[in-house]
Structure 1
Amino acid sequence: MDLDGKTVVVVGLAQTGIAVAKFCAKRGARVVVADGKPADQLADQMKLLEGVPVRFCLGGMDLTTFLAAELIVMSPGVPSQAETRAAAAQGIEVVAEIELAYRFLHPEATLLAITGTNGKSTTTALTGKLCEASGRPTFCGGNLGNMPLIDAVDHPANVPGGLVVAEVAAFMLENCTTFRAKTGVLTNITEDHLDRFGTMERYADMKGRIWDYQRPDDLAIANAADPWVMQETRGIPSQLYTFDSRKGATAERGAFLDGKEIVLRMPGEERYPVDELVIVGNHNMENAMCAYIATRGIGIPRDAVRAGARAYRPLPHRMELVGDKDNIYFYDDSKGTNVASVAASVRGFPRPLVLIAGGVDK
């Protein structure tokens, strides 16, 4: 894809928008950054683009600017606007940041994409750690941390044999038309972001798009215990692998729990001791199953998977032990921003607990 000389409108002046603006300007595009907030609320963000040849359209969305674009790139936190819909109706391409990034990834690099209402960050970080343990160049980011997927393009992992591991939120899949993950993981689907998507059906469909452009030799990894997830597997073009943490569950192709071991059938059977992991709770066993299937499915050696699992440490604010006093342990789980996430964390504790919770209904 050639951006040289093209007029590109980047919608949203936050972390992803800034990264996309720099990326496009570096490749010779005429970049306009649009944001509904006024300039005085975006001074810090604008400073990050000092010296970068971009023009700003702030304090409102100017239809003329959008209709003059040759490409519009949406930041994940920005919903569809009347102006972007009008541009699309005129044949101007509107894409997500991950779609733009995908078009610049080396065709022989392996992309692993992980989505789901809950567990996607832990699954992404753990998968990245297992990939790193293999010794192959690895990028781990997307919706995780401070590494938008567009940063993978100039990363050492964007080479033949490189591994690109990306957390992908539902927002990010909205404007994708070719985005294809060699391995696509859907951890679960529970009520969330209905303020944006309106219905569970639309939200679930957006999550299921992670598999839309896969091919028969690609892997789809799905939660067998989640009816919303399994509904999205209908008609997918790729090979389906499932995981199931319910007592007594098995899988012909995928992963399940057997006592204190995670069992993989890929085919052939492999067993991974649960006590090699520092993360706790049934929901984290599901995250580990996803990571094990994903990495073994692309040929990461078993020894590397086990070494990576032993080296992994939990992400901040996700069941993070932050202190203890008088045999009372304090955990920070502030990334639990919906009911299902909090319930999964509570169920993961083997001892009595006091829950301090709050927030808003999404």
Structure 2
Amino acid sequence: MNYEKKKVLVVGMARSGVAAAQLLRASGAEVTVNDSKTEEELGQQLKPLEGLQLERCFGCPAMDLLEGKDCLVISPGIPDTAPFVVKAKEMGIYVIGELELAAQLSRGTLIAVTGTNGKTTTVSLLGEIFANSGKVTHVVGNIGYPFSLASLVSRKEDMIVCEVSSFQMETADTFHPHVALLTNITEDHLNRHGTMEVYTAMKMRMFKNQTASDYAVFNADDPGLEGLSKQVKSRVLFFSRKQEVKEGAFVRDGQIMIRMDGNEKKICGTDEVFIPGPHNLENALGAVCVAAAMNVPVPVIRHSLKTFRGVEHRIETVRELDGVEYINDSKGTNVDSTIKAVQTMSQPTVIILGGYDKHTSFDPLSREIINSPMIRHAVLIGETAGLIRNSLERVGFNHLTDAGSMREAVETARSLADKGWCVLLSPACASFDMFKDYEERGRVFKEIVRELK
């Protein structure tokens, strides 16, 4: 789409909104930026917009700014059911999100990854694989670096690896990745989407514009994805750590294999993958499928799997003190993600749980904890502490302590952990009740841990 001289309203001045405004101005649009916060409250967030010719409307409702606009760009945090969004559509205004805008204006080959868990690790690993193959690679999207910033500089020969959330898919229209990967689907974000059916439909929108010349990659081990591959028009690859697949990546006798067009190639041993845990083996297998679809040489894939160190806030070792290992898994923002962290633990562990309520059941996590030989105690924080306590007590797990802050949680966990144990922050919840986002929560945890003497 051509945005030159179009009158565009950008609502929400977090990272993606600010980046969208920059991209729109570079594309010749007449841009109005808006946020319910005042300019003083937004502070340094607006610094990238200094010197740009924009109409700035802060601390006022977006509803008052719709008249005369051709396009409305909303941040992922704004649902498409918000009254001003509904009104804009009624007025005939073209409504999109920052991800859709950036995809329309970018150059390069687009790879997209979505799913409940594993997205950030997988896109980061793919970024490393493509960079190691000699490609200029932009890792963008829900990972924290806005797609719009990459669209300002991307070239036709570049690779763009995009982490996609269900929120972003609500406002996707022409989004068309050449390779799209769905890691898994488990219960999450029902406070936004209402039902699992709607949540799954949002994830599947990523494949909507693909054709027979594109690739769709699915996790054959995830029951939540059963039947979904039949909905796509693209060529399907599967990955599995439990069974061999006809087309895609799998494990045979401890070796990661890729099979395409009847040809098999050995990548490396599962024990050579640096990042730990069965969930990370799944992430690696998904990345192998994508890399193979893009004709990345096997030695490059092998080297990347052996050297990739993982991502911050995902089963990240912070330090060892007095024989106790402290692990930051603040990115465990839902039940399934924390279940995977629990399954990774190989030493006795005190786990810190709790946070913002997304209206999901904690019972699957409670069953995993009671059956785990490693989880010895849980320290509970945040607004979901009571819900988690009730769920754990129902399955007979009673080694529980409440904490009023992250510092108190860490100090309590330290007092409970013996030499040879782990202290694991994996909250199974979002962070908005106590922190700006999971990254801030993880940083605070790490700061407190590093201050321990």
- Give the TM-score category using the shorter length: over 0.9
Greater relative contact order structure (CA < 8 Å, 6+ sep): 1
2:192 aligned with 1:192: no
Distance in 2 separating the partners of 1:259 and 1:205: 36
8 Å contact 1:144–1:167 — kept in the other structure? Answer: yes
2:78 aligned with 1:84: no
**Aligned counterpart, 1:104:** 105
Between stretches 203-212 and 231-240, larger displacement belongs to 231-240
2:13 aligned with 1:13: yes
Q: Are residues 25 and 160 of structure 1, via their aligned partners in 2, closer, same or farther at CA, if it must alter by over 3 Å?
A: closer
Distance in 2 separating the partners of 1:206 and 1:356: 31
**Aligned counterpart, 1:152:** 150
Deviation at 1:40, TM superposition (A): 3.5
1:42 counterpart SS class: helix
1:265 counterpart SS class: strand
**Aligned counterpart, 2:442:** none
Kindly provide the amino acid, as one letter, of the partner of residue 265 in structure 2.
Answer: E
Distance in 2 separating the partners of 1:2 and 1:74: 18
Kindly provide the amino acid, as one letter, of the partner of residue 288 in structure 2.
Answer: Y
* Matches for 1:154-173 after TM superposition, within 5 Å: 154-155=152-153, 158-173=154-169
Distance in 2 separating the partners of 1:170 and 1:354: 32
Residue by residue over 1:192-232, the C-alpha shift from the partner in whole angstroms, topping out at 9 and shown as x without a partner, is 11111111111111011111110101111111122332343
Distance in 2 separating the partners of 1:121 and 1:191: 18
Structure 2: 5+ residue stretches without partners: 359-453
2:265 aligned with 1:270: yes
Distance in 2 separating the partners of 1:343 and 1:62: 40
8 Å contact 1:10–1:74 — kept in the other structure? Answer: yes
**Aligned counterpart, 1:125:** 124
Q: Are residues 91 and 231 of structure 1, via their aligned partners in 2, closer, same or farther at CA, if it must alter by over 3 Å?
A: farther
2:204 aligned with 1:205: no
**Aligned counterpart, 2:249:** 255
Kindly provide the amino acid, as one letter, of the partner of residue 42 in structure 1.
Answer: L
Q: Are residues 322 and 43 of structure 1, via their aligned partners in 2, closer, same or farther at CA, if it must alter by over 3 Å?
A: closer
Deviation at 1:50, TM superposition (A): 2.2
Between stretches 32-41 and 176-185, larger displacement belongs to 32-41
8 Å contact 1:317–1:333 — kept in the other structure? Answer: yes
Residue by residue over 1:61-84, the C-alpha shift from the partner in whole angstroms, topping out at 9 and shown as x without a partner, is 243422321111111122222122
* Matches for 1:196-345 after TM superposition, within 5 Å: 196-246=192-242, 249-267=243-261, 268-271=263-266, 272-345=268-341
1:337 counterpart SS class: coil
Kindly provide the amino acid, as one letter, of the partner of residue 150 in structure 1.
Answer: S
Between stretches 253-262 and 308-317, larger displacement belongs to 253-262
**Aligned counterpart, 2:141:** 142
Distance in 2 separating the partners of 1:77 and 1:334: 20
8 Å contact 2:246–2:259 — kept in the other structure? Answer: yes
Structure 1: 5+ residue stretches without partners: none
2:63 aligned with 1:46: no
Distance in 2 separating the partners of 1:228 and 1:67: 43
2:35 aligned with 1:35: yes
8 Å contact 2:106–2:152 — kept in the other structure? Answer: no
Identity %: 37
Distance in 2 separating the partners of 1:87 and 1:217: 35
Kindly provide the amino acid, as one letter, of the partner of residue 124 in structure 2.
Answer: A
User: Considering only CA atoms, is the larger Rg found in Structure 1 or Structure 2?
Assistant: 2
Kindly provide the amino acid, as one letter, of the partner of residue 148 in structure 1.
Answer: P
Distance in 2 separating the partners of 1:235 and 1:189: 15
Residue by residue over 1:156-180, the C-alpha shift from the partner in whole angstroms, topping out at 9 and shown as x without a partner, is xx33332111111111111111100
Distance in 1 separating the partners of 2:163 and 2:203: 12
* TM-score normalized with structure 1 length: 0.93
* TM-score normalized with structure 2 length: 0.75
Deviation at 1:327, TM superposition (A): 4.1
Deviation at 1:310, TM superposition (A): 2.5
8 Å contact 1:23–1:150 — kept in the other structure? Answer: yes
**Aligned counterpart, 2:95:** 94
8 Å contact 1:208–1:229 — kept in the other structure? Answer: no
The count of aligned residue pairs is 355
